[in-house]
């Protein structure tokens, strides 16, 4: 009996080693571990496989703490990959995309690449053509090397130290991120961070989802519901105005579920600015991760994804910038509106808009954020 227990313990431990050592393995999505071995700035990249007993499997790389693949069953139990990405690490290194990335130090824009905190002005890296800071500058956290702190069969914990002054942001920011595949068929994401100087922080995962499992198709027929009565509008240059507009009687009203594509091409100024949906919805229950904030459903596969979060907003982007020119996994060139992002976060330009929830983090405080993508079938 002791030998049997020892044997199975060794098998379990070997499974962990497969995901974090030099051993070769192939994932359910067809990814090969050896295709993710590279050196970036003297540090080794790797692929980590986490899963549950139902077969739900996520693959994570420490380059940008990215979700590379996410295998989810349909109504018949068929596992399919539902996120965009590349089949090897070279794709991520050569293509300036945020597929599956952990974006920071501040996702979204900070206008004019500046903000004032405690009476001091901080000038950030202006990496946008109009002189703004977008997604925390270039490179953001999605193009940085993260350290792997712990790996289990169902979770991986990564850390990143963003040094004082990186892309203009103050403070040495220590970030810890844990991905967990739960037995409830969810991808659970937890963030923690501390700083030694007052700073601002807005972290988020930037996965591109297509619940159909056919990453060569549009998401416009998928049904969406959003628990929000207001959204943040743009001016003509896609800069947030600092206002909150009601969704009622606009194409951004998803309080009653309907297809993403039903109103996406309406003649409405906010849609025309970004050629679709690319807005932050202000959630009705900010901070409450016990109830769904958003759900999306694909009728063909029967997959439904519910999103729970402690964040005050979800920024929904319908892949309006995808043009069928970037070749990803399985040689698919991701098409226009071929995926949708659900970025759980604070609002853009919050440091310059005190009416928005604060993104300030101070020494002695611990930033914490929690988001869950939970999967069911009809």
Rounded-to-integer distance, Cα 104 and Cα 48, Å: 21
Q: In this predicted structure, what is the pLDDT of residue 12?
A: 40
Q: In this predicted structure, what is the pLDDT of residue 23?
A: 67
Helix, strand, coil content of the chain in percent (nearest 5)? 15, 40, 50
pLDDT in tens, 11-24: 343 344 445 445 68
Annotated catalytic residues are 206, 343
Q: Which domains does the chain have, with CATH numbers?
A: 2-377 (2.70.98.10)
Give CA angle at 256 (250, 258), nearest 5°. Answer: 85
pLDDT in tens, 138-194: 999 999 999 999 999 999 999 999 999 999 999 999 999 999 999 999 999 999 999
Task: Look up the pTM and report it.
Answer: 0.93
Q: Which strand (E) or helix (H) includes residue 64?
A: none
Q: How large is the average pLDDT for residues 30-40?
A: 95
DSSP state of 49: E
Q: Which has the closest alpha carbon to 321: 188, 134, 43, 115?
A: 134
């Amino acid at each position: 009996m002791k030998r049997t227990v020892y044997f199975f313990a060794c098998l379990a431990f070997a499974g962990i080693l497969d995901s974090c050592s030099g051993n070769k393995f192939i994932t359910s999505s067809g990814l090969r571990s050896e295709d993710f071995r590279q050196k970036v700035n003297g540090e080794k990249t790797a692929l980590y496989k986490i899963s549950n007993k139902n077969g739900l499997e996520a693959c994570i790389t420490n380059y940008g703490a990215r979700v590379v693949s996410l295998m989810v069953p349909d109504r018949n139990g068929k596992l399919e990959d539902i996120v965009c990405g590349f089949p090897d690490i070279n794709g991520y290194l050569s293509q300036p995309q945020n597929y599956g990335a952990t974006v920071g130090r501040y996702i979204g824009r900070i206008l004019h690449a500046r903000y004032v905190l405690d009476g001091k002005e901080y000038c950030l890296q202006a990496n946008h053509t109009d002189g703004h800071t977008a997604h925390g500058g270039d490179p953001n956290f999605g193009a940085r090397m993260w350290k792997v702190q712990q790996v289990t069969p169902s979770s991986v914990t990564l850390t990143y130290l963003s040094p004082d002054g990186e892309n203009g942001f103050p403070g040495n920011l220590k970030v810890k991120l844990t991905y967990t595949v739960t037995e409830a068929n969810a991808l659970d994401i937890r963030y923690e961070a501390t700083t030694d100087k007052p700073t601002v922080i807005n972290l988020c995962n930037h996965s591109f989802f297509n619940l159909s499992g056919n990453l060569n198709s549009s998401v416009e027929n998928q049904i969406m519901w959003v628990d929000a009565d207001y959204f943040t509008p743009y001016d003509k240059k896609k800069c947030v105005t600092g206002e909150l507009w009601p969704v009622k009687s606009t194409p951004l009203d998803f309080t009653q579920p309907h297809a993403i594509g039903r109103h996406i091409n309406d003649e409405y100024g906010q849609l025309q600015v970004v050629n679709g949906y690319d807005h932050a919805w202000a959630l009705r229950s900010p901070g409450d991760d016990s109830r769904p904030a958003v759900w999306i459903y694909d009728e063909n596969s029967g997959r439904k994804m519910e999103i729970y979060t402690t964040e005050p907003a979800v920024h929904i982007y319908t892949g309006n910038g995808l043009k069928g020119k970037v070749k990803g996994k399985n040689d698919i060139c991701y098409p226009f509106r071929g995926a949708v992002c659900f970025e759980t976060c604070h609002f853009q330009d919050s440091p310059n808009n005190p009416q928005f929830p604060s993104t300030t983090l101070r020494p002695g405080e611990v930033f914490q954020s929690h988001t869950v993508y939970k999967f069911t079938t009809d």
